[in-house]
Amino acid sequence: MKKLKQPEIFYTEQIGINAKFFGKKLAVVCGEERQSWEDFHRRTNMVANALLGLGLKKGDKVALLMQNSVAMFELIWGTIKAGGVTVPINVMLAQDSLGIMINNSEAKWVFADPVTAPQIEPIKGQLTNVLSGGYYAIGGLGGMWRPAEDLVAGGSEKDPKVRLRMTDSMNIIYSSGTTGVPKGIEHSHFARHMYSFGVGPVQLIDRWTVSLCATPLYTNGTWINMLPTVFSGGTTVLLKKFSAENFFQTVEREKCTHVFMVPTQFIVLLESPALHQYDHSSLKMLVSGGQALPTKTADGIRQHLKSAGLWEMYGMTEGYITLCTPEDMARGKVGSVGLPVFGGDICIINEKGRQIARGKTGEICGWSPGLMKGYYRDQQRTEDIIWKGPNGRTYLRSGDIGRMDEDGYLYISGRVKDMIKSGGINVFAADIEEVFMRHPEVMEATAIGIPHDKWGETPLLFAIMREGVTISETALAEWGNARLGKFQRVARVEYRREFPRVTHDKVNKRALRDPYWEGREKKI
């Protein structure tokens, strides 16, 4: 008797299905370059077969040090079709971190473009796993670089038909690498479906969606909208480089509907004259993530980008997500990052690792079916992040501080390491930042703890001000302190032209703190 085989749905198969039913429809756009689903399916088959021709076996790693481009998009999906594991690398890394990541991933091949290739050349001798002749670049650069175009051109257009399992690895995405050895976050094919089956339906992503990737493909946040758009047969628009002008031009030209961005990018958009010079009425959903969205910025988005709903997202690349929708906010949950998606769960624990009641503040732990397999080749770090929750289930410790209200909605207070302990009282940097962001001349604010002989630590605020600032640092400190509790008041305010950043433009608070704590015993 014939038995019905239980289906498994892979992105690789779905690309072919999309080509079958939406063949002439756009799959990917970057600047003037455009590919239909038929073309994208054909080209990713060519990439896959070219890699298989090089000897790629299922599970082999391919490192991509590239800027957003259609070529990078093809290489990501062609590698996955071949059964390989794609390793997109942050193009802004220092050479030491770059070498550490490529070696840790055990990548056998490295692909680059004309801008990024020079970063690899000085460290080639350190890359112990890359095969001889395993360096490919877009643009025919010569020297150590083989032409990637020629490699792909020699690949067959036939479906490689590599048999995959849901437990097979699909990608490794590295942490920002600002402290110690960067962590390689390894995701399975099943885990990546958290976005297609969890985030996608909640955000109403379908075949008519035009998702703008305004952040780099090497950051996991970019995949939040990209993955369900690819799965659903929509159109992915890649922004090669973010600027307000480029963003609004692209939205108007491509009629983009969905965007994921970080708060810093929204601030840039709201400050730009381009906001009122282009048609952005096609936008339906704006998703903010990566760090807390200031209330003033959220209000500005609702005022000036009225066609789009604002969604606030929280989560870890390691594998769980919460979402606060416009409907949630309309029901009084403004300031929350929402509820878990894709069957996930959230718990709050105290310093002793015990779960605490709703309304109390502690460390956030999360679980979902999309959890990573672990930190690649780093069992100790994987074990360190685990918290055993209800019924023995494995949760991940986020390092973030927050609370749940009576309805289970999550609110973020900041990072455990960012918490300022002043006179024995826990002071949350996010609360201070929120107050100072209300001042009309403040563009962006961030608070840290600095040494204090009496209190142990005291808050210091850094601010990026609008052009033509009229208020002094001292006057701004007085303005903010009048609106804060006594224990929250800042010692002073310092103006900066810019902040040090890490992945997703998050403020690198460690870099801001270090000069003040040099030579002292500190816990940061």
pLDDT digits 0-9 by tens, 151-160: 999 999 999 9
pLDDT score of 466 more than 90: yes
What residue type is assigned to position 258 of the chain?
Answer: H
pLDDT at 181 over 80: no
How many whole angstroms separate alpha carbon 403 and alpha carbon 507?
23
502: pLDDT strictly greater than 60: yes
The reported pLDDT for the residue numbered 180 is: 54
**Range with the largest mean pLDDT of 87-101, 200-214, 453-467:** 200-214
pLDDT bucket at 415, cuts 50 / 70 / 90: confident
**CATH number where 485 lies:** 3.30.300.30
**Which residue's entry shows tokens 């760090």?**
291
> Per the domain annotation, does 34 fall within a domain?
yes
Residue 120 belongs to some domain of the structure: yes
Structure confidence at residue 144 (pLDDT): 95
* pLDDT higher than threshold 50 for residue 506: yes
Going by the DSSP 8-state scheme, the letter that residue 355 receives in this structure is: B
Instruction: Please indicate, yes or no, if residue 24 is contained in any of the structural domains.
Output: yes
Picking from 154, 178, 196, the residue at the C-terminal end of a domain is 196
Can you tell me the mean pLDDT for 499-520?
84
Give me the mean pLDDT over the 472-491 stretch: 93
Query: Strand 320-324 to strand 169-174: parallel, antiparallel, or no bridges (unpaired)?
Result: unpaired
Quick one: pLDDT at residue 522?
45
Mean pLDDT computed over 14-25: 97
CA atoms in the 13 A half-sphere facing the CB of 92: 15
pLDDT tier, 179 (very low <50, low <70, confident <90, very high otherwise) = very low
Provide the domain count of the chain.
Answer: 2
Which residue blocks in 154-294 are alpha helix, DSSP H? 189-193, 200-202, 220-232, 244-254, 263-271
Q: Which residues contact 42 (CB under 8 A, 6 or more apart)?
A: 19, 157
Task: Read off the pLDDT of each residue in 230-244 and give the average, rounded to a whole number.
Answer: 97
Domain that holds residue 477: 420-517
Structure tokens at 367: 């679980």
Token pair in block for residue 424: 């024995």
Please state the separation of Cα 320 from the chain's center in Å.
12
Pairing of strands 386-388, 394-404: antiparallel
User: Integer distance in angstroms from the first to the last C-alpha of the chain?
Assistant: 64
Identify the band that residue 431 occupies on the pLDDT scale cut at 50, 70 and 90: confident
196, 223, 247 — which closes off a domain? 196
pLDDT exceeds 60 at position 31: yes
3-state secondary structure 73-139: HHHHHHHHHCCCEEEECCCCCCHHHHHHHHHHHCEEEEEECCCCHHHHHHHHHHCCCCCCCCEEECC
pLDDT at res. 290: 83
With a cut of 90, say whether residue 8 has pLDDT above it.
Answer: no
Q: Which pLDDT score, from 0 to 100, does residue 338 have? A: 96
User: What pLDDT sits at residue 176?
Assistant: 62
Question: Of 134, 166, 196, which residue is a domain's last?
Answer: 196
Return the ∠ at Cα 370 (arms to 366 and 372), rounded to 5°: 85
Cα separation, 196 vs 315, whole angstroms? 16
pLDDT, residue 406, reads 97
* Integer Cα distance of 199 and 205 in angstroms: 8
DSSP assigned state of 321: E
Strand partners, 411: 403
Dist. CA 207–CA 91, nearest whole Å:
31
Confidence of residue 487 (pLDDT cuts 50, 70, 90): confident
Question: Is 265 part of any domain?
Answer: no
Q: Is residue 345 part of a domain?
A: no
In the predicted structure, residue 178 carries a pLDDT above the cut 80: no
Model confidence at 523: pLDDT above 60: no
- pLDDT tens string 183-195: 999 999 999 999 9
Q: What's the farthest any 2 CA atoms get from each other in the chain?
A: 83
Q: Is residue 466 part of a domain?
A: yes
* Radius of gyration of the chain measured on its C-alpha atoms: 23
Q: Which of 75-84, 350-359, 454-463 has the lowest mean pLDDT?
A: 454-463
Q: How confident is the model at residue 428 (pLDDT cuts 50, 70, 90)?
A: confident
% of the chain exceeding 90 in pLDDT: 79
Q: What is the pLDDT of residue 501?
A: 85
**Structural contact between residues 49 and 12, judged by C-beta atoms closer than 8 angstroms:** no
* Mean of pLDDT values over 508-521: 83
- Over residues 131-147, the pLDDT tens digits come to 999 999 998 788 999 99
Say if 259 falls within a structural domain.
Answer: no
- Cα(266)–Cα(313) distance, integer angstroms: 14
> What pLDDT sits at residue 504?
67
pLDDT, tens only, 306-335: 999 999 999 999 989 999 999 999 999 999
Distance of CA 167 to the CA centre of its chain: 23
Mean pLDDT of the chain: 92
Say which CATH number the domain at 123 has.
3.40.50.12780
What pLDDT sits at residue 309? 93
Position 319 in a domain: no
Task: Judge whether 146 and 137 are in contact, CB under 8 Å.
Answer: yes
- Count the neighbouring beta carbons within 10 Å of the beta carbon of residue 95: 13
The pTM (predicted TM-score) of the whole model is 0.87
